[in-house]
Amino acid sequence: MIVGALGVIVVAMVITLFRAFRGPRLYNRILAINMFGTKTVLFIALVGFLTGRPDYLDIAMLYALVNFVALIAVLRLTHSHDLIERASGGSQ
């Protein structure tokens, strides 16, 4: 059962990569990479249960945190102009 779920998640990852390559502009790609990160978290948790080492859940939790922070960092990178404008009173 866990092997079946692992196979399905790998197939879903490959399909998500198609959108990451294809997506017309920036936001589709950010969305696809965010989804890829969530699937990676599930993948690590399932592999941990498959090999009988539930300690992999620590790695999965760390990667869930890293994924979220990376998303916010990328959005800050593309929207830094907006943030600078807001911070300096919006007159520039």
Phi, psi (rounded to 5 degrees) for 79: -115, 20
**Residue 86 touches another protein, criterion: CB under 8 A:** no
Distance separating alpha carbons of residues 39 and 24, to the nearest angstrom: 22
Task: Quote the least distance from Cβ 88 to another protein, whole Å.
Answer: 18
**Residue 59 touches another protein, criterion: CB under 8 A:** no
Q: Identify the residue whose tokens are 């948790």.
A: 45
The neighbour count for residue 51, using CB atoms within 10 Å, is 9
User: Between 10 and 89, whose beta carbon lies closer to another protein?
Assistant: 10
Residues 6+ apart with CB under 8 A from 20: 28, 29, 32, 33, 36
Which spans of this chain sit near another protein (rule: CB under 8 A)?
Answer: 1-2, 4-5, 8-9, 11-13, 15-16, 18-19, 24-25, 27-28, 30-32, 34-35, 38-39, 41-42, 45-46, 49, 54, 57-58, 60-61, 64-65, 68, 71-72, 75, 78-79, 82
